[in-house]
Amino acid sequence: MFFKFITAIMFCAVLSGCYLLYGGDRFRPEESRMSEPQGPGFDSPHLHPVVGGDAVPLTTASPSATTTTTSVLHTRYDYYEHSPRVTALQMELGMRFVDGVYGPATRRKHIDALGGPMAAILTFHPEVWETVTPCSHRCLPGDEHYELPTLGALINKHFLPEDRELALRIAFCESSGRSWDIGSTEVSHAFAVGWFQHLAKYWEERSKRAGWDEYHPFHGEANVAVASWLFYNSGVHHWNPSRTCWEAKA
């Protein structure tokens, strides 16, 4: 009888151990939860190094069952964020690779799903439009409510003679701006706006410090004037991403 009792206890212990090892749903580590084989995706840190050089492991976390399409698409994510909510976004977007990393491919598809950069900037940076821009129709090119000054004329007004050629090269390399253009509605997937590609998240602070806080970044003169303020108060490094372009055209 004693032997049978000991045997029963050991049998229960083995069963409990299996339950604890493999989890309540009997998931075994050698089995994959993923619906398709996973490899390094477009946003995988194996293809795109993260600042600091730290590799971010791939995630197989499942999105919350309560996550809705609206909340997933209309949520802001940090660049190279690695989290279960990014996994949920990638699955919602129907991406081929689901690695849980908010890299360039995921961000591009996310912005496109929102309707493009202009629609996305209205969603994530509404403060850009919460200004008292003193002209009708938001002062965009094509409004035809008054004659808009050209990029060349505005650069001549806000930059010193010795810096005007460089300013024109920067505007061209950043947004394909030409001296005869009367405005730019160019918005990048990083939410950079206009001729000088001002990042929307910094516009409120910088435009205020530059004395142009009543204007949005799509306003031609405000875009050039704030660029001039940055140029003379902080330096040309703000446009380093396109440096190889505007230095080559020197």
The kind and range of the H/E element at 199 are strand 198-199
Q: Are the beta carbons of 122 and 129 closer than 8 angstroms?
A: yes
What tokens does 127 get? 């403060």
Task: Report the chain's terminal Cα–Cα distance, integer Å.
Answer: 95
At residue 20, the pLDDT reads 36
Residue 101, classed as helix, strand or coil, is strand
pLDDT at 113 over 80: yes
pLDDT at 179 over 60: yes
The CATH number for 131-248, chosen from 3.30.160, 3.20.140, 1.10.530, 2.30.29, is: 1.10.530
Mean pLDDT for the chain overall: 75
**Range from 12-16, 106-110, 159-163 that averages highest in pLDDT:** 159-163
At residue 71, the pLDDT reads 86
Rounded mean pLDDT of 1-7?
A: 50
What tokens does 85 get? 């909510």
At residue 159, the pLDDT reads 98
Residue 67, classed as helix, strand or coil, is coil
Q: Give Cα 27 distance to the centre of its chain.
A: 36
27 pLDDT tier (thresholds 50, 70, 90)? very low
Structure confidence by residue, pLDDT tens digits, 43-82: 333 333 333 333 333 333 444 444 456 689 999 898 899 9
Domain ranges, ordered by start, for the chain: 1-31, 39-113, 131-248
Q: What are phi and psi of 108, to 5 degrees?
A: -60, -45
Rounded mean pLDDT of 126-139?
A: 66
